[in-house]
Chain A
Amino acid sequence: MTDSTRQLQQMARRRQAVHGWLLLSPALIMLSTFAFYPSVATVWTSLWSRGTRRNPSEFVGLENYQRLLDDPTFREVAWNNLLYAGVTIPVSIVLALVMALWANAKIPARGFVRTAYFTPTMLPMIAAANIWLFFYTPGFGVLDTIGGLFGAPSVNWLGQPETALWAICAVTIWKEAGFFMVFYLAALQTIPEDLREAAQIEGASRWTYLRRIVLPLLMPTTLFVLVNALINSVKLIDHLFILTKGGPSDSSKLILYYIWESAFAFFDAPSAAAMTVLVLIVLGVGAAVQFRMLDRRTHYR
């Protein structure tokens, strides 16, 4: 009889396994199709040469990466992206914090202020970029018109290499700060009023309270925002398509735009894949370092 019980047991176990896989399958299929397969395919593609009709692609190992590092455009684009991240991340975070503190205080028309700050986030990036295109337009754009009132010469903000990247940064900061503000605002509202009063009775100034109590309690939010800002600094390029298309002479080109260009304008998929892998590595390391370093100094409730 033991034989048949074992058989029964085996059947039951198998049925359970099938059940489990069925439950797993929707997520598994979605993730495999849209995340796992593309990642693996990207890595794989980056190791092969660009194939043409005459020269079929062949395995070249890390040659694509080597070529990238020798490519002056890639180096310029990478440097642009570093500058872009280095400016937009701190500025938008500090601005978000200041706006959140302001919008959290007892001010008149608080609801209006909050909505106003959040509006840029709700606009599609393409639409926002078009608005800014009008701001920046030389001659009759808003900036030039205002500048003209004070006798400043007309500036082609987007059209000259010295200012193009900074003009792009301004758009990003304008867009991101309102988004990050919402997180800070939510975090600020979880800090009980008691703490401020207790600090006040102890003789802490508003600045001391901010520095010693509020900022440390906002650290988890800052960490979250920082990681998001880092990812966005690589991810958010919609406005480039409208404003500069990476020009003039690559001065405002960012990595993702260059990847797109390589893949879909120059049809150099392996080089685009290699860049993608590099970006993923850098982002991964960056996020890991941030979590590691800041986690130790972060208080989670």
Chain B
Amino acid sequence: MSEPVFVRLDGVTRQWNGAGGVRDVSLEVPRGAFVAILGPSGCGKSTLLRLLAGLETPEAGRIEIDGREVTHLPPAQRGLSMVFQSYALFPHLNVRENILFGMKVRRVSRDAREAALARATKMTGLEGLERRKPAELSGGQRQRVALARAVVSGKPLCLMDEPLSNLDAKLRHSVRRDIKALQRQLGLTVIYVTHDQTEAMSLSDTIVLMRDGRTEQIGPPEALYHAPATPFVARFIGDPPMAVVDGAALGVAAHPVGIRIEAIERVPLNEADIEAEVVETEYLGARTQVLLHHPAAEGLALILPDRVPLPPGTRLGLRLPQEHRVRFAADPHRNHAPHPPLPGDRDGHVADPNPNTHPEDQA
């Protein structure tokens, strides 16, 4: 990353009675980047954002924003704005008052306020709604008010906590594009928390995938997609996620092997790397997705063009092309501080950060 670091976290830890929260997270975000913090619920992603915002105080570690240490500064002095999952609009104030609340608090002059309001409502398409109360707005419009509030603040860093999770699928798409456009236009640095990997993949330059309070992998979306560092990443990223096959079943060493299902080929049984049994076929119009079962594999599926009728129980031969395989280390100790794998976690190990991947995906 050639650009100067704008936000830096260094060994940040915040836990509640030794559980949950965030453990020893380090992260560098360049100015103007769009970073998605991704992970399943309870992985500590919201805590991480709240630590950045100053709504929580870390037990250990340092937080820097724009070259200034802010670890113990109150939120208002960190030069950031935040969009909440619930939008956190003030219900008794109308759109205009909601957007200008911060500027009024900061005693910005009336002219400057009016100009900022006009600009923000134009950018977010809220013109004509200035007099409405939040209760009189649709979910998408409320979301836009929250965005406008972040825009008028003029802060270079914007934190977003699952801002789209309360919107329906259609709206989510359009607001997603608006957020991206807004970020580009204003040159904002955005740190965006989500549990939706599609959102993270489509919006961000960098994804921070978290698990149990730690960062599992940090990198551009395509690196996480094609070269997941661990089976956890492989199973989290992509829809459908990567298939993970036990190496022993492929005749290689006992490492888990991951592969994108679009790379799996159907071949005659005698040429196959492995044989699998059809569980179900899903016809999707242009293609058919065949869900497969193999005792040593997880998430195995095959994509075939057009409509292919295959009764459940049919045995298919599959080839897993060498160049698309991602080999995970079987090495049980992790590359960061020791941490016992969760019970029931089949392969709770972490590979060396760069297993064999496509050269173009090396971040």
Contacts and interface: CB of A to CB of B under 8 A. Distances in A.
A pairs with B? yes
Interface in B82-116: 82, 84, 86, 88, 90-92, 101-102, 105-106
Interface in A203-218: 203-204, 208, 212-213, 216-217
A299 B91 contact: yes
B263 interface: no
Interface stretch (B33-41, B72-80, B241-249): B72-80
A202 B153 CA distance: 8
B53 A194 contact: no
A195 B88 contact: yes
B105 A203 contact: yes
A299 B136 CA distance: 13
Choose among B53, B55, B101, B149 the residue with the greatest number of A CB atoms under 10 Å from its CB: B101
Interface string B59-75: 00000000000000011
Interface residues of B, number: 23
A192 B225 CA distance: 38
Given A197-B55, A208-B105, A301-B135, A202 B88 contact: no
B235 to A, nearest CB: 32
A209 to B, nearest CB: 9
Contacts of B204: none
A8 interface: no
Interface in A7-60: none
Contact of A202 (B55, B92, B102, B135): B102
A147 to B, nearest CB: 45
A200 B55 contact: yes
Interface residues of A, number: 19
A204 B86 contact: no
Contact of A201 (B80, B91, B92): B80
Chain A residues touching B, majority SS = helix
A170 interface: no
A198 interface: yes
A204 B105 contact: yes
Given A299-B91, A299-B92, A301-B135, A201 B101 contact: no
Contacts of A199: 90, 101, 105
B105 A202 contact: yes
Interface string A121-147: 000000000000000000000000000
B81 interface: yes
A217 B92 CA distance: 7
Interface of B: 53-55, 74-76, 80-82, 84, 86, 88, 90-92, 101-102, 105-106, 133, 135, 149, 153
Given A201-B55, A202-B153, A301-B135, 7 more contacts: A197-B75, A201-B53, A202-B101, A202-B149, A203-B106, A216-B92, A301-B91
30 contacts: A194-B86, A194-B88, A195-B90, A197-B55, A197-B75, A197-B82, A198-B88, A198-B90, A198-B149, A199-B90, A200-B76, A201-B53, A201-B54, A201-B76, A201-B80, A202-B101, A202-B102, A202-B105, A202-B149, A203-B102, A203-B105, A204-B102, A204-B105, A213-B90, A216-B92, A217-B91, A217-B92, A299-B92, A301-B91, A301-B135
Interface of A: 192, 194-195, 197-204, 208, 212-213, 216-217, 219, 299, 301
